[in-house]
Amino acid sequence: MKRIFVIFLLFCGTLAALLAISFFAPLAVPYLQDFSVMYFTDRALLHGIPIYDFPAQLSFVRALTAPNFIFHPYPYPPWYALFTLPLGLLPIQAAARLWFFLNIAMLCASAWLLTPAWLPIRRILGLFAALIFIPAFGLLVVGQYSAPVLLGAALFPAAIQRKSAFWAAVSLLLMTFKPHIGGLLFLAGFGWLVYEKLSFARRAILFTTAGLIILMGLGFLADPRWPLTYLQSLGRYRDIPGVQTCGLCASLSVALVKLVTGQSNTFVGAGVGLALLLAFCGLIFWRYRSWLMQPFALMAISSVLTLLVDPYLLNYDYILLLVPLFWLAQRSERCAWLAYFLPWLALALGREGNILLVLAGIVTFILIFRQPIDVPASPAYNQNLN
């Protein structure tokens, strides 16, 4: 009880410090890019406008900003908006700084969870490496929303190691915050719990199911018709100029479509991605099935598969690459640095450098499957599960 109280005090103190810094720090964090969609969605909800009522939102936002302000439909589940709702109470500059710091905290927490066996100095270097990773830099600059999924992928193996049903459920629920990059991770983690049939795994399944029901129920507070209007919002988002063609996508499937047809298309890319997923899964179950029993390896493989098959990926979504890169580093794979530094060349190429992220994903995939099968990826997990 005393420990929980101390942790609670530390949390409250840290949050108070972040709020103070967000209000008074002279830090110029951009706030009119991706972050503005989250912020104005939350602010409109505080004024009684459902998060998927785009016409009402657009009128509200343009009354606050300018008649030609560009605002997009909210494309994420309603519980994401509810968890970020307090940001709508702050001035937009302060809210952007707070979200910037929260993203940093989630990146650092993820790196810490992915390096449990590292020496302290090396572990701190790992945190620094996560923060300066090019996709992480892009995420921080535009105020993107991918960090909870990374945190969930990092938390899952740590929760399994400690046999914590509660934190295993939390990790899976975090993956639902951005479903198009977290969905495969969620299915892999949930499938692991079902297959293992351990007592704590059964509790984790129960907690996860209850958590999903609660999140879905809370979603009606954000929009009373959200199961229907969420799909409509996704349709509006798809119709935004550039989303269907996705010229800025860093996606293998879309790149293959463009190579063959000369044009980018995420719909056709989805079909190509499905074919790639089936092929990759066939390879995994044929030769590397035993790795799927190791939680860290499972999250590493699921992360890199997501980045190889998802048709709609932008540069910041590649923060998921940190999971397999840390897994490879734990196995002393020196060539992992190639996949880490390859995206840095994008600094010289600008947006055309997105193809380098695809190459980094391919290199990581190759490095994973050149690992010796008989060497356990994380002996600590197996010892704790025995």
Residue range 108-122, pLDDT digits in tens? 999 999 999 898 999
pLDDT of residue 3: 54
pLDDT of residue 196: 85
pLDDT of residue 2: 57
Segments making up each domain of the chain, as ranges: 27-241+248-385
What average pLDDT score do residues 267-294 get? Answer: 83
pLDDT of residue 58: 92
AA letter at 56: A
Q: Which long-range contacts (CB under 8 A, 24 or more apart) does 27-30 make?
A: 27/97, 27/100, 29/93, 29/96, 29/97, 29/100, 29/143, 30/96, 30/141, 30/142, 30/143
pLDDT of residue 379: 41
Q: What is the pTM of this model?
A: 0.91
pLDDT of residue 273: 85
pLDDT per residue as tens digits for the range 350-361? 666 678 899 999
What average pLDDT score do residues 66-92 get? Answer: 91
More confident residue, 38 or 375: 38
What average pLDDT score do residues 203-216 get? Answer: 96
pLDDT per residue as tens digits for the range 10-51? 666 677 777 777 777 777 788 888 899 999 999 999 999 999
| Cβ neighbours for 31, distance < 8 A, ≥ 6 positions apart | 39, 92, 93, 95, 96, 143
Residue with the two structure tokens 């503005």: 36
The phi-psi region of residue 372 (left if phi > 0; otherwise alpha if psi is between -120 and 50; otherwise beta) is beta
Model confidence band, residue 7 (pLDDT cutoffs 50, 70, 90) = low
